[in-house]
Structure 1
Amino acid sequence: MKKYLAFGLTLETSLNFTGVLQESTAETDVFITEGLLPQRANRPTRVQRRGVRARIGIPSSGILLTWEGISRFHVADGTHITYQNEGADEGTLRLFLLSEVIGILLYQRGLFLLHGSAVQVGDEAAVFLGVPGAGKSTTAAAFGKAGHTVLTDDLVAIQLIDSNPFVVPAFSQYKIWKNTIDGLAFDESTLEPSFEGATKFLVSQPLATFPRNPVPLRSITLLYPQNSRRKSEPIRPLLAPVELLKHFPLPIQLLNGPYLQTHFQHALTIARTATIDQLKRPDGFNALRHFVQTF
């Protein structure tokens, strides 16, 4: 068993995350073990990975998340993940563990979660949200190409510390599309194919310099396509809870009463210190590069 760091947590597991996650010597926060999971998750979700729709179950013992023919996962108490492999290779297991599965664990630990990307600019973090195709991952990649750190490209975890919001760094790899590689002039020969599909590639940032501590949140930007009727303008703080709820990254079955109450309270707290805007995405890669330079 080895220990690794992801989302500010020390994970203890026999799976090999060397080169993907930083190693950790801290006390274990999360145990990841293989085992039999006889209970079945039978409620379909909107979550898809590798073309397979996930199913969820919520027994009293925790939360089940299953991709049939790939793997089953059981998450309990924000401290334990058990998986039953149904034929997946280790790279695929890592992909699923570091996406919705660890998202459910962070949900159990009370973090504020968003489906988006986050980058570090100076000493602060900027978060980009949007519907699929709005450009959040490409925007994060443009910041990465310009020398900034991409904190996460999929699952954003925000922690409130003394009522101030901080983005928790996920891990050093992020995914980009083939057209982004061409448009931003990445060197494709240095990239690995993503286990998520042939049209996505992995960018590996240096493990030694990837942030280990939460980064103060500066802004949240909701990106919209150029043809959207939305105007580029600030979002009023009172509207923040509803607007941010649209970008909940996990199965909607988890949006229960207690979580919704906490979400609204935390969203209002975040809106008091971080700017929240909506923006039509930059039109083309040259405009995107200019956006990054002037951000």
Structure 2
Amino acid sequence: MLERRQEQNWFTSDICNEAGIPYLKISLLDFGMYFLLTYNDGAEFLIEHSGANIYVTSRKNQTLEDLVTYLVGPLLGFVLRLRTVTCLHASAIVINNKVIAFTGDSGTGKSTTAAAFARLGYKVLSDNMIPIVERGYNFLAQPAYPHLRLRSGAVQALFGSSDALPMIESAQPEWDKRFLDLNDVSYRFQRNPLPIAVIYQLDNRSEHNRAPYIEELAPEQQKICLEVNTYKNYMLDNRMKDIEYALLERMLRQIQVRNLVSHTDPAHLYKLCETVLQDYDNLLPVHNRNIKAP
């Protein structure tokens, strides 16, 4: 392990465990050549400033799945940010070779919505994080890993039993995620980048019989929605933020952000899918309407 020379605080999480230890602390080491990410479960990750290499240490009782969850989530997001790649905190599906993204706070149903579309036969492109690459007037969503991580309640709603999918092994007792393998012949995974067509912000759920429903957002609201729903944006320095905000402004010239209010009752999940499909169909030019089944 690298000697901790010239350690400087980069970021300290406001969220702490019962012992008062921050959920995450990021330090600069060795005159800024490395980032050290220390989580309060004992996992530590040393990342070169270039993002070229990641070194891992962990507690003995942590599983491979515990570490992989970090590596394919916040660690990958941080490395992409070091390479000035903006990432949305969102899940994504594909309709007619265009990406439909679902963003929102943790627990609003991004993965669950993607899984409902997967059950209907639509391709899934990403779960929880979407790296974006600008190509001309298109903003291409890059595929992630061919799986979805779902809470037991979502598995119950989609499959009729919370045990229908395997539990992801973890040393953390509060961990409650199950694994949907998109390589399974029952599902379809999008393996190539595609342009984003529309972004739906998953808002707070409603018991109103009108739900699920979709609302238009004013331009300023769309901007705020994108800014607060980029992945791990608390890790950014001022230079990274400037790059990100400029890209988001260009995105909003091409892509709408709309508000999606789901129902509190999981039985309405597939109605939510129908609502999204109808709304997206209405957004298309007349000659492109009537979305075909996958």
Q: Shorter-chain-normalised TM-score: which range?
A: 0.7 to 0.9
SS in 2 for 1:222: strand
Tell me, in whole angstroms, the C-alpha distance in 1 between the residues paired with 2:66 and 2:2. 19
Q: Which has the larger radius of gyration?
A: 2
In structure 2, what residue type is equivalent to 1:82?
A: Y
> Which residue of 2 is the match for residue 199 of structure 1?
176
> Which residue of 2 is the match for residue 66 of structure 1?
38
Tell me, in whole angstroms, the C-alpha distance in 2 between the residues paired with 1:85 and 1:202. 23
Tell me, in whole angstroms, the C-alpha distance in 2 between the residues paired with 1:278 and 1:151. 21
Report the CA distance shift for 1:169/1:117 in structure 2 as closer, same or farther (over 3 A): same
Superposed, 1:132-147 pairs within 5 Å as 132-147=106-121
Contact 2:153 2:162 in 1 (8 A): no
SS in 2 for 1:220: strand
> Which residue of 2 is the match for residue 54 of structure 1?
24
Tell me, in whole angstroms, the C-alpha distance in 2 between the residues paired with 1:58 and 1:192. 38
Tell me, in whole angstroms, the C-alpha distance in 1 between the residues paired with 2:217 and 2:85. 22
Tell me, in whole angstroms, the C-alpha distance in 2 between the residues paired with 1:79 and 1:200. 30
Number of matched pairs? 256
TM-score of the superposition, structure 2-length normalised?
A: 0.76
Structure 2 gap segments, 5+ residues each: 208-212, 278-294
Contact 2:81 2:236 in 1 (8 A): no
Tell me, in whole angstroms, the C-alpha distance in 2 between the residues paired with 1:251 and 1:241. 15
Tell me, in whole angstroms, the C-alpha distance in 2 between the residues paired with 1:288 and 1:177. 15
SS in 2 for 1:63: strand
Question: 1:219: Cα distance to partner?
Answer: 1.0
Tell me, in whole angstroms, the C-alpha distance in 2 between the residues paired with 1:180 and 1:52. 29
Question: 1:217: Cα distance to partner?
Answer: 0.6
> Which residue of 1 is the match for residue 216 of structure 2?
234
Contact 1:164 1:269 in 2 (8 A): no
Root mean square deviation, CA, Å? 2.9
Q: Deviations over 1:60-116 (max 9, x none)?
A: 113221124532112221322122233222221111111101110111122111222
> Identity over aligned residues, as a percent?
22
Deviates more, 1:187-196 or 1:79-88: 187-196
Deviates more, 1:262-271 or 1:180-189: 180-189
- Are positions 1:218 and 2:188 aligned together? no
Contact 2:94 2:190 in 1 (8 A): no
Tell me, in whole angstroms, the C-alpha distance in 2 between the residues paired with 1:55 and 1:207. 37
Contact 1:225 1:280 in 2 (8 A): yes
